[in-house]
Chain A
Amino acid sequence: MKTLALPGTLDALEPLGEFVRAAAAEAGFDAMAAGRLHLAVDEMATNSVTHAYEEQGREGQIYLEAEIDDNELRVALEDTGPAYDPTTRADPADLDRPLEERGIGGLGIFLARKNVDALLYERRGDRNRLTFVLHRRPASRT
């Protein structure tokens, strides 16, 4: 298992992207699949930084893990913010609306869920833990 701890600021997003893409490459995923996973983790890490830390006026870290077995790649993202489960949020309802009626935002969690095979939440001690799962089957998401 590989791990990485980063400061809970937006500056973490660039090394986070490199970490996730490296894990995806190691698990044999192509650039498109790696990009989908990167997007999912980036969205939820942005939420962690803004909601768990910046809006609370707190400092903290985000913690990444990547684990590969025969069947899947699992990337975990943890923060020490207040308990929050994003996996229960409803999808935006305006995805098919014309330009004038489209809301700004609300897409992050939707994109995170849409771009992995599973997105799991658990509260572990003082941490929110999100696990992003990609199944290792050839051409699984095309």
Chain B
Amino acid sequence: MLEITSTDHPEYLQISLRGEITSASASQLERTLAELLAKGPPPRWLLDLGDLLFTSSAGLRVFLTFAKRTKTAGGRLAFCNVRPAVAEVFEVSGFTQILTIAPDAAAAAVLLGAA
């Protein structure tokens, strides 16, 4: 089960994920992110993973694709509140080096240049 919530902030769009990303739920996330990007992408995105308990490589694939698209579109993307289990998967996969990851939303806003 994966719940996706998007919240507009003046300086950035926040997307909060709750639950688990497996191959079964990754397509739903991919679709939602693509729709948000197509709407006229805000330049700044915050992915709040505070309630994301699990991700498989299917989720990593979606995150990587989205990070590449955001960059191509000239936008900024930061992740925050990554729980230990997900942080470990990021680390092992080398994602810690290629994604912008902040401890919390306030720190992420600074990294996004939105604070």
Residues of A within 8 A of B (CB): 10-11, 13-14, 17, 31-32, 35-36, 38-39, 42-43, 46, 49-50, 95-100, 102, 104-105, 107-108, 110-111, 114-115
Q: Which of B22, B65, B97 contacts A17 (CB 8 A)?
A: B22
Specify the main secondary structure of chain B where it touches its partner: helix
- Answer whether residue B40 sits at the interface, using C-beta atoms and an 8 A cutoff: no
Cross-chain pair count, CB within 8 angstroms: 74
What are the 7 tightest A-B residue pairs by CB atom distance, in nearest-first order? A95-B94, A107-B57, A10-B24, A35-B85, A99-B98, A46-B23, A13-B22
B residues near A31, Cβ cutoff 8 Å: 85
Closest to A38 in B: B54
Tell me whether A102 and B22 are in contact (CB under 8 A): no
Tell me the bound Cα distance from A86 to B88 in angstroms.
23
B residues near A17, Cβ cutoff 8 Å: 20, 22, 54
